[in-house]
Amino acid sequence: MKRDFLTFADLTDDELRSLLDRAKALKEARNARREVRTLAGRTLILLFEKASTRTRLSFEAAIAQLGGHAITLSPDHSQLGRGEPLADTAKVASRYCDAIMMRTFADERLAEFARNATVPVINGLTDGAHPVQVLADVFTIEERLGKLKGLTVAFIGDGSSNMARSFLEAAPRFGFSLRVAAPKGYQPPPELVHPQLCSVSDSPAKAALGADVLVTDVWTSMGQEAEKAARLAAFSGYCVDQALLERASPKAFVLHCLPAHRGEEITAEVLDGPRSAAWDEAENRLHVQKALLETLVLAHERALGIGAQRSPAAGVTA
């Protein structure tokens, strides 16, 4: 039976731990220029219904560096743009490839696609979740601080955004505390807030105090352009600037998934300064997605009794 990665709930705690460990090994191999070809001959389809830079580049590079190749498709260049049912596209695309990454709007659209696909489907971003980005974020946090459990992460901005929602899901899975600072009307649904590990307020200063990591994102996401003026007004006072960073732990650093609007959700001084991890965070998309592709594709092949039997670990040292 195929496995998807639409949210963190699709992987067990042990699988998430193994995935981060594998990503570390793959990054070390990449830095040492050791080839890893565990997905040689495999094809990944990238289906974009939202614009992308890092998601497209990192997935295309990931499958290529593992020995496979990608086919990138947009509605303007497919029959989806002319009204073909999503289920039909999922069924046909599955016959051509070994995994599919979809980046779309409504979560239900992704879920419908995954239900009809017969190969693993990965969430490259929806309105309600961005799990591949948050995987890279938690990998970056562990890489910098040596652990995840027991840390305090502060998310400053839109608490109802896909990034905030995925962080709320990740916190109890990896054992860190999450403080969300968001204005009224932009706070996450209470059912997403873990009672012991997560908290919500409308105070960036309170959330940042003593935190190990500050996280922010754009205030106006794709599809929300008509709300920009209202959002700029609502989020006034939520900019991650040097003064807010100084309230955090002396070793704290800042994450931003990019693209960034300097002077809105974050200042140029912070984003481009020495305590920004945004560029490592962007690179780490590549490594965690390699590990994710391996995990899903090779597990699917084992379940079907086909494909290479070599373990992923063997690919690092080959």
Q: Is 257 a catalytic residue?
A: yes
Provide the token pair at 120.
């693993």
Q: Which of 30, 42, 130, 179 is catalytic?
A: 130
Sign of CA dihedral 234, 165, 110, 27: positive
* C-alpha span between 243 and 247 (Å, rounded): 7
Q: Is 103 a catalytic residue?
A: yes
Q: Which of 97, 198, 239, 257 is catalytic?
A: 257
Cβ-proximal residues to 195 (8 Å cutoff; 6+ apart), any chain? none
Q: Is 130 a catalytic residue?
A: yes
Residue/partner pairs of 81-87 with CB below 8 Å, 24 or more apart = 86/112, 86/113, 86/116, 87/112, 87/113, 87/115, 87/116
Tell me which residue of 207, 206, 234, 205 sits closest to 219, measured CA to CA. Answer: 234
Q: Which of 133, 173, 187, 300 is catalytic?
A: 133
Q: Is 285 a catalytic residue?
A: yes
* C-alpha span between 60 and 222 (Å, rounded): 22
Q: Which of 54, 285, 287, 300 is catalytic?
A: 285
Torsion angles phi and psi, residue 266, rounded to 5: -155, 145
Q: Which of 103, 173, 231, 300 is catalytic?
A: 103
Q: Is 198 a catalytic residue?
A: no
Contact 290, 263 (CB under 8 A): no
Cβ-proximal residues to 205 (8 Å cutoff; 6+ apart), any chain? 244, 247
Q: Which of 217, 239, 289, 300 is catalytic?
A: 217
Active site residues: 103, 130, 133, 217, 257, 285
